[in-house]
Amino acid sequence: MIMSPSETISTLFDSPKETLVRYVEVWTPNEDATRLTLVATQVTGPITRKKPKHKVVSVAKGAGLAGTAWQQKAVSIVHRDDVGQLDRINVRSDHDLTAVLAIPVFFQQEIRGVVVIGLGDGFGAAEIWTRDDRDELAVSASHYAGLESFEFITRYTRFPKGAGVPGRVWQSGLPYLLQKLGHSDSFIRSFGNDEAEIGAAIGLPIGHERGFPASVLLLLSSTATPIASLTELWECEQSAVVDAGMPVARLIGVTRIAGGSVSVGSGSSPEAWQSELLQKTESAGQPLLVTAEEAELPTGAKFNLSIPLFKNDVLRNVLNLMF
Amino acid sequence: MNENRYVEIANLTKAYPNPFGQDIAVVKDFNLILRKGEIVSVIGHSGCGKSTVLTMLAGLNPITSGSLIVDGREVAGPGPDRAVVFQSPCLLPWMTSFENVMLGINQVYSHGTKVERKQICEYYLSIVGLADSMHKYPREMSGGMQQRVGIARAIALKPRMLLLDEPFGRLDSLTRMDLQDVILEILDRERVTTMLITHDVDEAIYMSDRVCMMTNGPEATVGQVLKIPFARPRVRSEVLDHAHYYDFRACLLSFLQKQEHRKAAHVASFSKKLLDAPVEFVEDTVKEPAKEPVGV
Ligand SMILES: Nc1ncnc2c1ncn2[C@@H]1O[C@H](COP(=O)(O)OP(=O)(O)OP(=O)(O)O)[C@@H](O)[C@H]1O
Ligand SMILES: [Mg+2]
């Protein structure tokens, strides 16, 4: 077994906590990469889905939220008041969503898909960190659920290269998942008194610019309303095994947020569902949304979103959000 | 010259050999950029490496790796362009305050006439409040007065950069506040780029444009940088009354508190490493906060 006692996972979906992510869409490019097509949608928790207006929804580069993220090679955020204007968001009550993010996924300069996630009420945050005029990272766009003092201090917070989760992701070009422990080696950010809410942070490199990520997306997960029921960041390696002339990615490390606690594992025998999802994500080379009917998932899980993260031309990580 | 990157500290690393002869990085990959005229405080627990960073910047302590650039020039040793003030002013005991300050001025203004140099010296001694004590010897002055001489001596060099290592550390709180204002007044006028090391979070907030929070060593580095947005010149009572003063303060204090825990956890995990057989899986949710072991 690759990591923690599987009981954590087997009971995880029995009475799942409400998650911050309430809505997920995956858009993938057509064959000549001129348009993005909405290929999958899922809702979590209490949101019910509207009847889709059109059978096939697709956008050109620069059009709509997904097309904007593609064109700008950056995460786009739409805030509460403007969510209603996103007529593509197929939810009945737009007010259930407090923000919508579009996250572009690239393989080198090539668009491989856009993941759209809708966030609801609770505790948590999404922040986009970009370089300022003195090569430090500052938040350029953000959404906060609760966390007023966190938001306030963040406005005045900067991370030089290598510092904090954003600085680390920026320096390494690799995603990073970190649990906040008061007494841990690592910490997310100091902001004062009511620090209890934030449990973990996930930093994702977005785009490339002179050898470094163009920006860093930071998702802050709370114990009260975690980002997802189960979050796993996988570290992969190109194994020596060759399948049809191609090296196959092998799972070498997992960092997991489950029920508010984070565990870290490494080993060589992943669970069956992990192997299957990795194989599927790798061969698609695209973000992938699968339901329990379509793939083997831990008992009780409804669906899983896999986001492949490439560095140079190699699949180095997969971020999985399971609901 | 790029005013936005007037001082550039990149991947600065300092290693010292430990008792077993292994090189241990006290400071590792420290990155910080200072704007021209900016005052940046550095806070962090005792022994984390603040003075190490400052003395490297002063050119008094060789770097192990990385780079240090001040105004476009790589730091390659001490120089009058970077004036340093330590906790104790290190005045020459057989010279008066005037003579002590003159010592530096003679080096830097070697082209000026004797009268000009005398005027410069008197000017700086008077702005630190020593107009009446120019001809006193260090033994005739209090610690605070001696530190004023040290400050006058540093500023009189017209440095590109001022490096202050706990300059008020030994002073009572009234003298401390007095000297904080003396320095702020000078800096508001002369726009000298300044690094100030302090253990006092209130001093950090009042004095600086940014506070650099250093993590604990070994391998200490920048943990987080906090911008202090209060306009200059600052009035102490206005700063203290500012609606967000206590938010900034809480942020700095909670950083230091976390580093305290980190230190304890570090020691705990180190002894765990020694005791435990290799484990495949580590559950990271520690049940009980690690306590600072006695005698460590
Ligand atoms: N010459 C040296 N040889 C070996 N270790 C040293 C040497 N000088 C300093 N150190 C170590 O480097 C670390 C950082 O020291 P430094 O004086 O920079 O800390 P500091 O943050 O200024 O502490 P304080 O707040 O107490 O002044 C300490 O652990 C110290 O023991
Ligand atoms: Mg020191």
Q: Which domains does chain A have, with CATH numbers?
A: 122-224 (3.30.450.40)
Same domain, B192 and B259: yes
Same domain, B193 and B68: yes
CA distance A166 to A144: 17
Same domain, B130 and B17: no
CA distance B104 to B153: 7
Contact A118, A22 (CB under 8 A): yes
Same domain, B15 and B39: yes
Token pair for A102: 């579009």
Residue A55 to chain B, least CA–CA distance (Å)? 46
Q: What is the ipTM of this complex?
A: 0.86
Residue A220's DSSP bridge partners are A125, A201
Indicate the range of A38-52, A181-195, B121-135, B146-160 predicted with least confidence: A181-195
Candidates A148, A151, A153, partner chain B, best to mutate (most B CBs within 10 A): A153
Contact B165, B86 (CB under 8 A): yes
Residue A174: phi and psi, rounded to 5, are -120, 150
Preceding peptide of B233 cis, ω within 30°: yes
Which of A165, A139, A149, A59 minimizes the C-alpha distance to A104? A59
Question: Per-residue pLDDT for A286 more than 80?
Answer: yes
Q: What is the pLDDT of residues B87-109, one digit of tens each?
A: 998 899 999 999 999 999 998 89
Strands B65-70 and B210-214: unpaired
Candidates A151, A170, A177, A190, partner chain B, best to mutate (most B CBs within 10 A): A190
Of B158, B178, B206, which residue is a domain's last? B158
CA distance A104 to A70: 6
Same domain, B143 and B180: no
Q: What sign for the dihedral angle of Cα A52, A53, A56, A60?
A: negative
Domains identified in chain B, total number: 2
Cβ neighbours, 10 Å, residue A83:
20
Same domain, B188 and B287: yes
Rg of chain A taking only CA atoms, in angstroms? 18
Which of B131, B171, B170, B161 minimizes the C-alpha distance to B149? B131
The proportion of chain B whose per-residue pLDDT surpasses 70, expressed as a percent, equals: 88
Which residue, judged by its Cα, is nearest atom 22 of ligand 1? B51
pLDDT computed for residue A231 by the predictor: 94
Question: Per-residue pLDDT for A316 more than 50?
Answer: yes
Reduce the DSSP state of residue B127 to 3 states and report it. helix
Who's near A214: CB < 8 A, 6+ residues apart?
Answer: A73, A74, A130, A206, A207, A208
Cβ neighbours, 10 Å, residue B43:
26
CA distances from B77 to A29, B3, B56, B159 (A): 57, 22, 9, 15
pTM of this structure: 0.88
Determine the structural domain holding residue B8 and report its residue range: 3-81+166-291
Same domain, B20 and B143: no
Q: What is the mean pLDDT of residues A239-259?
A: 78
Beta strands in chain A (DSSP E): 21-29, 35-43, 58-60, 76-79, 99-107, 110-119, 124-131, 137-145, 157-158, 176-179, 198-206, 215-222, 230-243, 246-258, 261-265, 288-291, 303-311, 314-322
Which of B262, B167, B246, B232 minimizes the C-alpha distance to B201? B246
Does B154 fall in a domain?
A: yes
Does B217 fall in a domain?
A: yes
Token pair for B39: 């005052």
Contacts of B223 in chain A (CB under 8 A): 163-164, 187, 190
What count of residues does chain B have?
Answer: 296
CA distances from B142 to A123, B55, B99, B149, B279 (A): 54, 26, 17, 11, 60
pLDDT computed for residue A1 by the predictor: 36
Does B37 fall in a domain?
A: yes
In this predicted model, which residue has the larger pLDDT, A193 or B191?
B191
Looking at every residue in chain B, the average pLDDT score rounds to 89
Chain B residue nearest residue A135, CA to CA: B33
Q: Do A153 and B228 touch (CB under 8 A)?
A: no
Same domain, B132 and B261: no
CA distance A136 to A132: 5
Which residue, judged by its Cα, is nearest atom 9 of ligand 1? B52
Q: Do B284 and A179 touch (CB under 8 A)?
A: yes
Kind and range of the H or E element at A72?
helix A64-72
Does B32 fall in a domain?
A: yes
Same domain, B49 and B95: no
Q: Which atom of ligand 1 is nearest to the CA of B55?
A: 18
Token pair for B270: 């180190």
Same domain, B102 and B215: no
CA distance A20 to A125: 9
Which of B7, B2, B184 minimizes the C-alpha distance to B82? B7
Residue A38 one-letter amino acid:
L
Strands A157-158 and B222-227: antiparallel
Question: Per-residue pLDDT for A5 more than 60?
Answer: no
Same domain, B19 and B65: yes
Which residue, judged by its Cα, is nearest atom 2 of ligand 1? B16
State in Å: Cα B44 to ligand 1 middle. Answer: 12
CA distance B250 to B201: 9
pLDDT computed for residue A211 by the predictor: 86
Residue A253 to chain B, least CA–CA distance (Å)? 11
Does B296 fall in a domain?
A: no
Helix, strand and coil content of chain B, in percent to the nearest 5, comes to 40, 20, 40
CATH of the domain at B171: 3.40.50.300
pLDDT computed for residue B9 by the predictor: 97
Q: What is the mean pLDDT of residues B228-233?
A: 95
Of B142, B158, B174, which residue is a domain's last? B158
pLDDT computed for residue B266 by the predictor: 62
Kind and range of the H or E element at B224?
strand B222-227
Q: What is the mean pLDDT of residues B11-37?
A: 95
Same domain, B56 and B126: no
State in Å: Cα B198 to ligand 1 middle. Answer: 15
Of B129, B158, B187, which residue is a domain's last? B158
CA distances from A36 to A26, A59, B116 (A): 9, 5, 74
